[in-house]
Amino acid sequence: MEIQVLTFRVDEVPANHVALYIESVELAIGEFSGLLSSHWVHRRGGEVVGVVVWESEADCERFRHSELYARLMLDPYVEDCGDAAFEAGTPCRQLPTADQVLEAWMALAA
């Protein structure tokens, strides 16, 4: 299982349009084989974070080489794109405490 974290900024787009944009990306990603789940958050300041879970690294790479991915990365309203992928089950050096996780989620909700 491969976990992909996508980040980007959409500063010049009204919040309601960002929600529609994210929904359209979710629907398009949903067409890819190997997708297990997709979760997106639009944070204050125009930052968008997506956590996409794939069955395999090959499925993630297939998405990365798709037209949809290229359109997302080259969209004129999308800036500061980031993309990282991790194999599920890879040991982490230091896991956050429950308080740190709660604080992070509260910051996202603010």
Domains and CATH numbers, the chain: 2-109 (3.30.70.100)
Query: Residue 36: what pLDDT?
Result: 94
Ramachandran bin of 27, using left for φ above 0, alpha for ψ from -120 to 50, beta for the remaining angles:
alpha
Read off the pLDDT band of 61 (50, 70, 90): very high
At CA 23, angle to CA 17 and CA 28, rounded to 5? 130
Query: Residue 76: what pLDDT?
Result: 87
Give yes or no for residue 93 having a pLDDT over 60.
no
- % of residues, the chain, pLDDT over 70: 86
Read off the pLDDT band of 101 (50, 70, 90): low
51 vs 70: CA distance, rounded Å: 18
Per-residue pLDDT averaged across 35-47, rounded?
A: 88
Q: What radius of gyration do the chain's Cα atoms show?
A: 15
